[in-house]
Chains A and B, each alone.
Chain A
Amino acid sequence: MSVAAKGVSGSGFDVEQVRADFPILQQTVHGKPLVYLDNAATSQKPRAVIEAISRYYEGTNSNVHRGVHYLSELATANYESVRETARAFLNAADHREIVFVRGTTEAINLVAQSYGRSHVQSGDEILITEMEHHSNIVPWQILCRERGAKLRVAPINDAGELDLEAFSNLLGPKTKLVAVTHVSNALGTINPIRRITEMAHSFGAPVLVDGAQAVPHMKADVQALGCDFYAFSGHKVYGPTGIGVLYGKAALLEEMPPYQGGGDMIMSVTFDKTVYNRLPYKFEAGTPDIAGVIGLGAALNYVTRLGIGNIGAHENGVVRYATEAVSAIPGVRLIGTAKEKAGVLSFTLGEVHPHDIGTILDQAGVAIRTGHHCSQPVMQHFGVEATARASFALYNTKEEADILVRAIEKVRKVFA
């Protein structure tokens, strides 16, 4: 077993210092140091995020956009400052293009219900890909059933890459929207979003990008990508659960009807007529998850302070190392071997069911995800019921990859 070099890389990214920022990583599981490799499900939270939420509840808690009193103004200022943080994080042109939602799933449902219901007619088509998470399939199925539209699915190849030619052939004048993931949660494949948006725009179809698995690993610059909507969840990028962001181009958001009605999303209400609030508040009905937004802001600041380029470079080194070591184990089949990948190592081991792999790894302190990863069509493509998935974050190390490899060897021994 090789021992990886510790310490600071050339970029100044010190993984040991980073690990010290995450209280949960200091614990043992079944008597072994926790090796947390389930980051594509949810990431752990740095102290900066946990403390920001505590500070909010201890010192600032108040409702936003309502009060004239001191705390309400402070809470509103803090809440709105995170909108600017998120705008900068995505390099959106305008802070009004940032809508706070519960997560990626709600963001996609918002676009399906608001943009979809007002633009998609009977006979129209929505184009997605075979590698989508269920959250980027089911909202479109619901919309298509309701409108009599057709859901088209662009296939992937056996490396888990999108077949761009087939994708291009499925685009046409009937395509009213393209929904595609930036990074596949089950395979780790990075999609060429810029090319996809150019192709879709040539048919006038706007593009929604599911960025849930991308933003923890790489710069997501919505203007450079050229996408029309971009969705991500806070909890996968070191923030709290229950909060996420929908980016939408202002011109599209302006003309879209509200998703939910209630307080805060209105300008004036009479029983005859209601005037909706301006962007982005039109899409933020009710008291929002203020603490969640504050925590999200702390998470995005944390990532920005470390530098997303440094994070990605460190992770790629660990993932490459782990992929090489795991694929050398007899019986291992990698699921997802795209040239461009981020964060994910999905595999099967001979006839051993992934669930059994997960239990044995857990006994070694190694947390991974086993199952279909909410991507059953991907499993069907590769002819498997399930995979074992190790997914990496900025605090994972090559030493942890070594522990993963030893634990998989243990699985082989039990099932020899």
Chain B
Amino acid sequence: MSDLRDLYQDVILEHSKAPRNYRELPAANHRAEGFNPLCGDRFTVYVTTEGDAIRDISFQGSGCAISKASASMMTQMVKGKTTAEAEKLFRRFHDLVTGHAAANGNVDLGKLAVFAGVSEYPARVKCATLAWHTLHAALEGKQEAISTE
């Protein structure tokens, strides 16, 4: 049996209770909505880019501890990075939570590594990746709300 603490690490619980960059970004030039119809998680991600750089990023919405903490930590991690770096980070993060060998292993996940425990809980992968999918949609300029299904 996997230990619940592998999933609900203190950092994750802390971010879910006090999410960072949790606000609207009126000046955002990218935004997208992400929705998981199975559990009702719903987030909006706002991004302000300047050229290739992510100058500012924020999110709002409702969801479980995993999805909210993931969104919060994502905003911290990609702020100041280029959009290409953010996409690379997403691919590496996706490998991490799905338990795949690190095909993008040269990317440093930093404190996102606390999400490694998600790979033991396949039903929760969509929770961990919802904000990232939404960020991806925002950067691609998608207008329709994206769905995990």
Q: Across the interface, which residues of B come within 8 angstroms of A355, CB to CB? A: 39, 41, 63-64, 66, 124, 127
Kindly state whether residue B143 has any CB partner on chain A within 8 Å. Answer: no
B64 touches A353 (CB 8 A): yes
A363 touches B1 (CB 8 A): yes
Q: Across the interface, which residues of A come within 8 angstroms of B40, CB to CB? A: 371-372, 379, 385-386
Least CB distance from B63 to A in Å reads: 7
Q: Mark A314-348, 1 if CB is under 8 A from B, else 0.
A: 00000000000000000000000000000000000
Select one of A31, A352, A363, A386 contacting B65, CB under 8 A.
A352
Kindly state whether residue A305 has any CB partner on chain B within 8 Å. Answer: no
Least CB distance from B91 to A in Å reads: 25
Least CB distance from B10 to A in Å reads: 10
A371 touches B38 (CB 8 A): yes
CA distance A360 to B63 in the complex (A): 16
Interface of A is mostly: mixed
CA distance A359 to B1 in the complex (A): 13
Chain A residues 183-234 with CB under 8 Å of chain B are: none
B38 touches A359 (CB 8 A): no
Chain A residues 369-403 with CB under 8 Å of chain B are: 370-372, 379, 385-386
CA distance A363 to B7 in the complex (A): 11
Q: Across the interface, which residues of A come within 8 angstroms of B4, CB to CB? A: 359-360, 363, 410, 414
A30 touches B1 (CB 8 A): yes
Kindly state whether residue B13 has any CB partner on chain A within 8 Å. Answer: yes
CA distance A355 to B124 in the complex (A): 9
CA distance A410 to B8 in the complex (A): 12
Q: Mark B117-141, 1 if CB is under 8 A from A, else 0.
A: 0000101100100000000000000
Least CB distance from A361 to B in Å reads: 11
CA distance A363 to B124 in the complex (A): 13
Q: Across the interface, which residues of B come within 8 angstroms of A363, CB to CB? A: 1-2, 4
Kindly state whether residue B147 has any CB partner on chain A within 8 Å. Answer: no
B1 touches A415 (CB 8 A): no
B38 touches A356 (CB 8 A): no
Given known contacts A353-B64, A415-B65, is B13 in contact with A359 (CB within 8 Å)? no
CA distance A352 to B41 in the complex (A): 13
CA distance A360 to B13 in the complex (A): 14
Q: Across the interface, which residues of A come within 8 angstroms of B64, CB to CB? A: 353-356
Kindly state whether residue B62 has any CB partner on chain A within 8 Å. Answer: yes
Least CB distance from B130 to A in Å reads: 11
CA distance A354 to B124 in the complex (A): 13
Least CB distance from A379 to B in Å reads: 8
User: Across the two chains, which residue of chain A brings its CB closest to B124?
Assistant: A359
Chain B residues 31-61 with CB under 8 Å of chain A are: 38-42
B121 touches A414 (CB 8 A): no
User: Across the two chains, which residue of chain B brings its CB closest to A371?
Assistant: B39
CA distance A372 to B37 in the complex (A): 9
Q: Across the interface, which residues of A come within 8 angstroms of B62, CB to CB? A: 353, 385
Select one of A30, A31, A353, A359 contacting B123, CB under 8 A.
A359
Given known contacts A355-B64, A371-B39, is B13 in contact with A415 (CB within 8 Å)? yes
Given known contacts A30-B1, A363-B4, is B65 in contact with A356 (CB within 8 Å)? yes
B1 touches A414 (CB 8 A): no
CA distance A356 to B17 in the complex (A): 13
Most chain B Cβ neighbours within 10 Å, of A31, A363, A410: A363
Q: Across the interface, which residues of B come within 8 angstroms of A351, CB to CB? A: 17
User: Across the two chains, which residue of chain B brings its CB closest to A32?
Assistant: B1
Q: Across the interface, which residues of B come within 8 angstroms of A353, CB to CB? A: 39, 62-65, 68
Least CB distance from B145 to A in Å reads: 15
Least CB distance from A408 to B in Å reads: 14
Q: Across the interface, which residues of A come within 8 angstroms of B39, CB to CB? A: 353-355, 370-371, 386
Chain B residues 1-18 with CB under 8 Å of chain A are: 1-2, 4, 7-8, 13, 17
14 further contact pairs, Cβ within 8 A, besides A363-B4, A385-B41: A31-B1, A351-B17, A353-B39, A355-B39, A355-B66, A356-B64, A356-B65, A359-B124, A360-B8, A363-B2, A385-B62, A386-B39, A414-B4, A414-B13
Query: Which residues of A pack against B, CB within 8 Å?
Result: 30-31, 351-356, 359-360, 363, 370-372, 379, 385-386, 410, 414-415
Closest 4 pairs (CB-CB, A-B): A353-B64, A355-B64, A385-B40, A30-B1
List 15 A-B pairs, Cβ < 8 Å.
A351-B17, A353-B62, A353-B63, A353-B68, A355-B39, A355-B41, A355-B66, A355-B124, A356-B66, A359-B121, A359-B123, A360-B8, A385-B42, A385-B62, A386-B39
